[in-house]
Amino acid sequence: MNKLLKFIKYLTVFLFALIFIQCSSEENDDTGSNGSGNTPSLTASLSSLSFEDTQVGQNSQLKSFTLSHTNLSSDINLTTTSPFELSVDGSTFSSQLSLPVLTTSSLIFVRFIPDAINTFQENIVIQTTDIADDIVIALNGSGTPVIHNYLTFNRTRVAFGGGFNQTSVQTFNLHNDLSNIEAIKMYVKLTCPSGGCDEWDVFANVKVTDPLSGERYEMARFITPYWNDNSQLPRGFEFDVTDFKSMLTGNVELRIRTECWNAKGYEVSVDFDYIEGTPDYQYYGITRVLNYDNGSQAGVPYGVAHTFDLTRSINIPSNAQSTHLRTIISGWGGQAASGDPDGRTCAEWCYRTHSVSINGANMFQHNLGPLGCASNPVSNQAPGNWTPDRAGWCPGMEVPTRIDSFTSSMAGTTFTFEYGFENWTNTTTDNSFYPVSSFVVVKSDTPISRAVVVD
């Protein structure tokens, strides 16, 4: 009997101890997960999101991340700040989301809608009352200007022979409202026809027709690559043609020309980006000063007597707030011995400095020196002789546009203009030429007439 009582006593003590240990274990398990015995967790698949540059007022491409969670009893709340927005379905967006914890993961979509030209840095803050620390995802993106794109020539074939012509003239409808256009960029894309491209580096340009005079103004010049196109450049050759904005509106006639002398030639595409922003001045006017630009041998003869007039008288409107000259020039003819110490022949190869004289004083200079042809990104020109430096241009490259800005507005003044070459005498029978175009550009915040140019 005593043994039985002892056994019962020991058994009772053991059971009380077991109950005490179990209770203590439950009291110390502070998971906040409704007694499940597991710690709540919440993680995001990334800590930052970077968006591509996006035009003002446009939606970016969607980005996404995943939230993974376990043992949560309260909703997950996400907040962000404009111009970023959140969504669970990729179609309905807001700055706040509240997610019930029905599943163990959630896919979150994020988009960027910039409202200004700026760089934006914001955060997504992710919270739940089950966990003390917030999760923060950094966001960044840049708003860029609104761009209106217009395709004009579209793989238009220019060649010589085989039913093709070296030039094409067409009319296009371009942007009408220029009041908020800050810049106009033009892109020229060359594509090889099925039979291949022209083998040579040739003179080429794009002109716009002046609606008042019917004259064609050279907006841009380039030299074609040997044997190939310019597909190594995503959009082709790039030119700033903002100076011609008064002509690049509404119904516009354009001309493209390549001096190809075979039936291969090129397929040429030209498109324009009208970039919104605040113009430097609201009104532009442009007038032609020199126009010896219809081909490589239509330029001014160099080193010999000639009858090309390189002097002008220019009158600037009284309300001009800014005046500058715009010039394109490239040398042609590579056989005439220059007599230079380096033996470079003229006018393709001989380095020269040209001058622009205003009222008889040398005011601006144009250096026709090396541009680094071997570094040209349009490098697929073998077996052409494309790497040696020419005088101020390279095969498969834009010919530089030279901007000469006056330090004052020149408003209401009349001045003389003269374009000058370095002295040199061609003692050979080979010809050298400088095709040149030059314009005077005036700007104002009040309606402005063009400068008047007199030969």
| Residue 312 one-letter amino acid | R
pLDDT at 360: 98
pTM, full prediction = 0.84
Q: Which of 201, 210, 243, 293 is catalytic?
A: 201
Q: Please give the share of the chain, as a percent, with pLDDT higher than 70.
A: 92
- Measured CA to CA, the distance from residue 221 to residue 209 in angstroms comes to 15
201: annotated active-site residue? yes
pLDDT at 335: 85
Tokens of 262: 């075979």
pLDDT at 64: 98
- Measured CA to CA, the distance from residue 73 to residue 417 in angstroms comes to 82
Average pLDDT of every residue of the chain = 93
Q: What is the pLDDT of residues 380-402, one digit of tens each?
A: 999 999 999 999 999 999 999 99
pLDDT surpassing 50 at residue 275: yes
- Measured CA to CA, the distance from residue 2 to residue 369 in angstroms comes to 120
Q: What is the pLDDT of residues 61-92, one digit of tens each?
A: 999 999 999 999 999 999 999 999 999 999 99
> Residue range 411-436: average pLDDT?
96
Question: Residue 454 — very low, low, confident or very high, per pLDDT cuts 50/70/90?
Answer: very high
Q: Is 228 in contact with 262 (CB distance < 8 Å)?
A: no
pLDDT at 121: 98
Q: Are strands 237-240 and 216-223 parallel, antiparallel or unpaired?
A: unpaired
259: annotated active-site residue? yes
pLDDT surpassing 50 at residue 209: yes
- Measured CA to CA, the distance from residue 115 to residue 156 in angstroms comes to 38
pLDDT surpassing 90 at residue 12: no
Q: Which of 229, 243, 348, 398 is catalytic?
A: 348
pLDDT surpassing 80 at residue 36: no
- Measured CA to CA, the distance from residue 291 to residue 298 in angstroms comes to 10
Q: Which domains does the chain possess? A: 41-144 (2.60.40.10), 146-279 (2.60.120.230), 281-455 (2.60.120.230)
Q: Which of 85, 210, 218, 259 is catalytic?
A: 259
